[in-house]
Structure 1
Amino acid sequence: MGNVTKFNPRFLLLPLFIVLAATATAHANQFLPRPRLGYYGNSCWNVESIVRSVVQSNYLDNPANAPGILRMHFHDCFVQGCDASILLAGPNSERTAIPNLSLRGFNVIEEAKTQLEIACPRTVSCADILALAARDFVVMAGGPWWPVPLGRLDGRVSLASNVNLPGPTDSVAVQRQSFAAKNLNTQDLVVLVAGHTIGTAGCGVFRNRFFNYNNTGSPDPTIAPSFVPQIQSQCPINGDPATRVVLDAGSGDQFDTSYLNNLRNGRGVLESDQVLWTNPQTRPIVEQLLGLRFPFLWFGIEFGRSMTKMSQIEIKTGLDGEIRRVCSAVN
């Protein structure tokens, strides 16, 4: 029996997403030689359909691949730029760094690469595949579509010692500094972190916040009192730190604005998430997104815009990179 896909009324908003996001992307692209829309042209005209097909089948097999690939794209771009260095395997590679040990979905990117090497040998970079897959997985989770400029090259260096990612207890000041270093502003920070509307985190990452915040013997006072026992029951103090909990309580597998509502209601799981509501520099952005007449529509547009910016961080072009034959190893 074939798979039956439920109709999602949000898909009716896709044409508007596409028009507005395309306008923003075209404006950004006029200052860049690469990446750009239509980069592959006739050299691999069906690149997006091939990646999309792989994404769809893997999403149906395991919806957790959606936040996995989205997180992988973020982790890749924030370390040496969007060059697929996160995909390189081996001792002391980025994949072996502690923040990356829980990444999932490497097989999805390799599957897409294998198919593209058959259709268009040595043409499409792993970095471009990852950028496309992140977009397509968001769409599968009910989120927006946005045009992805292509033309990145793959990096040749991947070192665990280079991994310095924003952390789950970072203040807004520290997060803003991390994002500013990548030419992303405070609006981008809030919108991209709101990608936690899908995905999970291990109990060991945040458990102390719900039991012994800053060695006070009590939970973080910014947490809604009714939320504390819910998380404590899922992450008992002596339980397995690898047990995973959804970051968007009540809507962890659907890309929507529930995450932002949870921040307003003191139900952010990570400290670095909840401070986006308690900090006066970021709270107005959350309030603005929630206060619009169609919050999901505008959040989707802003998310696509910020993802487009992020996907162009420190890209490799010219002699700076290559197109790998397989994504897990340099040529």
Structure 2
Amino acid sequence: MLKSSNNVHKLQSAKHTNFPKIGTMLKISLGLSLFAVLSFGLVYADTISVSVDGTQYAVEYTANDVVISSIEADSETSSLFLTVDVAGSSGSLEVVLDRTFFDSKFEEIDDDFFVLIDGDFADFTEIETNSETRVLNIEVPSGTEEVEIIGSSFGNSPEPPTPVEEPPTPVEEPPTPVEEPPTPVEEPPTPVEEPPTTTTPPKIDDEEPPTTTTTKCGPGTYLVDGVCVLDERCGPGTYLVDGVCVLDERCGPGTVLKYGSCVLANDGPTTQPSKTSSVKTFSVELIFGVIITFVVAGAIGLLAAIMIKANKRKN
């Protein structure tokens, strides 16, 4: 019995000897807590606000050894500028872009974003894409000051789904019965009895010869009771139009129309032109023609003489 109690005492002593000290355990706990705090300080998720044409948007991001100090949007170039500070040798930045805020499309089809780090093209990966957001994972080297993300447009509102119009169900109407018109009954024509006609022969004895009436007169005359008489209702140089005497411009200046011919205005009383006056007029015209011919010939001869004389002087 005494031997058994000694063995139990030895076992308990061995347990106390192998158990770690309280001070050592406290040091290990503090070290783990500090490591956890540092780990959470280097990797964290946050949101930052940016204004686009007066509208505020919240941009979600997750930074690993990267601190974002400011963010700006340029709607003219469709670019998003992030001012950053890298804590370690390199870091990474995961940016969640809401399609209603910032997107990159070409002809309504998703297109790639472009990422520049301090003006140079950077390595990035689009790790998630859906109908609402696009997520970019960007590698940020040490010493980086600015990250630029280039898309196509800001403030894209989602288009509502186009309603599908179902065609109306055609309503079948019963066929309309066709009524045939009644067949007409042909009645035989009723004979019409015409009375006998009697023809009376024309009378030859009491008939008068037909009289012809004049309806149109020549120039300078007009119709009175079926007879053409001299028209003296207007003075010389005028004629009657619709009951009004108007100036006669059918002949040249100084002449008037008389009996269908243009004569001088001061030719005396209105009489029928005679053969003697016609001969006189022809003689006067002939004399004037001969005189004009001689004058023209003399002028041509004088001009020729002057030209011959001028040629002789030159020679």
Give the TM-score of the pair, scaled to structure 1. 0.21
Q: Which has the larger radius of gyration?
A: 2
Which one has a larger percent strand, Structure 1 or Structure 2? Answer: 2
Which one has a larger percent helix, Structure 1 or Structure 2? Answer: 1
User: Which structure's relative contact order is higher, taking Cα pairs within 8 Å and 6+ residues apart?
Assistant: 1
Give the TM-score of the pair, scaled to structure 2. 0.21
